[in-house]
């Protein structure tokens, strides 16, 4: 159980750390993306404002007002520009500052840009990327196309992206290892509290058995002297009730102490049939209808004694809380999906519409808040059933439909 708790702690911490890391990666890369776009746009604006060429170096650097762009970096820009007439024919061109494109290629790409529908964007030639901007002079109606080689910008942005991903993965690995080490310390208070609880239940069970045995003996002696009466019968009934409750608490505590039982192949159909038959006379005597539908040949991984106990708990619970003259159904089939077995124990329960079913597996929970003991339950049986299902690596659920409350176990 504590191993599962530790794994759950590590998983939750890992998910939280992963979310934070990816959020940081997203924020940093978004900022980087915006910075790169701003720089490219700033350069394109300068070129567009000065007829497709830079003015003096000092004036250009001052116009950009960007700490990342200096006089030295301006010389690194590779660009060209073409001016087109209103009818999209070439008026003039400036191809001096581009070296990896021939004059014919540059004019072809500029022609494709000016005849396109967009005024700005990016295109690539092989592994080279170019950003462009198209503007139109208000007086002459001529078009100016400026194209900037932005390969370095985009490569830097991509390098930053993959570097941030790698650092995030390394950080995640480091945090997972750290959390794995710290997790054993984090769950220690829970382990200590759980150990104290188990120790208390065990010790209290042993301590209470002695006075209960004395009370039982004194009651029997009293009956020998004065005869049996309603008071001695009530005392014996309560002693038996308390003894059974103590035994169930001890069993539940030991079950949680040893959750890793060796599971073997068990004929679920035979075990369920045996448990269902043992309740047949009790249920029929109570005037309730009893219907058993068990598919033969269903096998599961479990332990026979504990599996029998699980079925008995569910049928006993159905018998205690079934309406007068109601119906009890025990059904065992193969699940529709997969190879798992599905056990359903249902009973008539007219008052089940506004009930908090999520609490049915809490220890000592009784839907009847007055704690009337007429059903003879302790509110611990379903908690034991849930623990048994957990040991078998299965699932248990409760549902209410058409006046029937049903407990379904998947193994």
Going from N- to C-terminal start, the domains of the chain cover 2-157, 188-257, 264-410
Quote the CA–CA distance of 266 and 249 in Å, as a whole number. 26
Architecture of domain 188-257: Orthogonal Bundle (1.10)
pLDDT of residue 135: 92
pTM of the complete model: 0.49
Tens of pLDDT, residues 88-101 = 899 999 998 888 88
In the sheet that 79-84 helps form, which strands lie side by side, from edge to edge?
90-94, 79-84, 143-149, 128-136, 120-125
Q: Which of 203-217, 257-271, 339-353 has the lowest mean pLDDT?
A: 203-217
pLDDT at 370: 41
Select the more confidently predicted residue: 260 or 81: 81
> What confidence category does residue 374 fall into, taking pLDDT thresholds of 50, 70 and 90?
very low
- What SS3 state is found at 141? coil
d(CA 120, CA 51): 16
Strand 327-334, strand 289-294: pairing: parallel
Q: Is there a common fold for 188-257 and 264-410?
A: no
**DSSP assignment of 244-260, as one string?**
HHHHHHHHHHHHHH---
Of 3.30.565.10, 3.90.1510.10, 3.20.20.70, 1.10.3720.10, the CATH number of 264-410 is: 3.30.565.10
Report yes or no: 300 and 395 within 8 Å, Cβ to Cβ: no
Average pLDDT of the chain, as a whole number: 80
pLDDT band per the 50, 70, 90 thresholds, residue 81: very high
Classify strands 264-267 and 120-125 as parallel, antiparallel or unpaired.
Answer: unpaired
Look up residue 393 and give its DSSP letter: T
- What whole-number distance in Å separates Cα of residue 27 and Cα of residue 35? 12
- Cβ proximity of 391 and 401 under 8 Å: no
Determine whether 371 is exposed, middle or buried from the number of CB atoms within 10 Å of its CB (0-12, 13-18, 19+). Answer: exposed
**Cβ(311)–Cβ(347) below 8 Å:** no
């Amino acid at each position: 159980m504590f191993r599962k708790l530790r794994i759950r702690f590590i998983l939750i911490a890992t998910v939280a750390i992963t979310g934070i890391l990816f959020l940081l990666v997203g924020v940093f890369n978004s900022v980087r993306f915006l910075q790169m776009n701003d720089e490219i746009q700033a350069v394109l604006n300068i070129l567009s404002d000065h007829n497709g060429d830079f003015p003096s170096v000092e004036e250009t650097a001052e116009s950009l007002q960007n700490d990342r762009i200096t006089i030295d970096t301006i010389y690194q820009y590779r660009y060209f520009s073409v001016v087109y007439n209103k009818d999209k024919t070439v008026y003039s061109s400036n191809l001096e500052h581009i070296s990896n494109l021939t004059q014919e290629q540059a004019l072809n790409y500029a022609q494709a840009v000016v005849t396109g529908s967009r005024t700005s964007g990016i295109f690539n030639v092989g592994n080279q990327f170019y950003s462009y901007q198209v503007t139109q002079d208000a007086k002459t109606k001529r078009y100016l196309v400026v194209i900037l080689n932005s390969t370095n910008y985009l490569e830097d942005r991509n390098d930053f992206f993959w570097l941030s991903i790698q650092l995030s993965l390394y950080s995640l690995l480091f945090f997972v290892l750290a959390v794995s080490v710290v997790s054993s310390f984090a769950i220690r208070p829970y382990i200590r509290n759980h150990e104290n609880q188990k120790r208390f239940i065990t010790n209290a069970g042993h301590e209470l058995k002695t006075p209960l045995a004395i009370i039982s003996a004194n009651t029997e002696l009293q009956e020998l002297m004065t005869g049996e009466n309603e008071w001695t019968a009530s005392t014996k009934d309560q002693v038996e009730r308390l003894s059974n409750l103590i035994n169930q608490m001890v069993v539940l505590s030991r079950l949680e102490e040893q959750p890793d039982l060796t599971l073997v192949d068990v004929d679920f159909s035979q075990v369920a049939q045996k448990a269902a038959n043992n309740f047949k006379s009790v249920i029929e005597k109570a005037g309730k209808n009893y219907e058993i539908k068990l598919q033969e040949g269903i096998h599961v991984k479990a332990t026979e004694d504990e599996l029998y106990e699980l079925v008995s708990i569910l049928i006993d619970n159905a018998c205690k809380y079934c309406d007068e003259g109601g119906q009890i159904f025990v059904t065992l089939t193969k699940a529709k999906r997969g190879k798992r077995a599905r056990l359903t124990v249902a009973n008539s329960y007219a008052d089940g519409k506004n009930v908090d079913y999520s609490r049915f597996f809490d220890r000592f929970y009784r839907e009847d808040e007055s704690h009337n003991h007429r059903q003879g339950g302790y509110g611990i049986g379903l908690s034991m059933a849930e623990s048994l299902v957990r040991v078998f690596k299965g699932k248990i659920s409760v549902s209410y439909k058409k006046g029937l409350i049903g407990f379904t176990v998947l193994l």
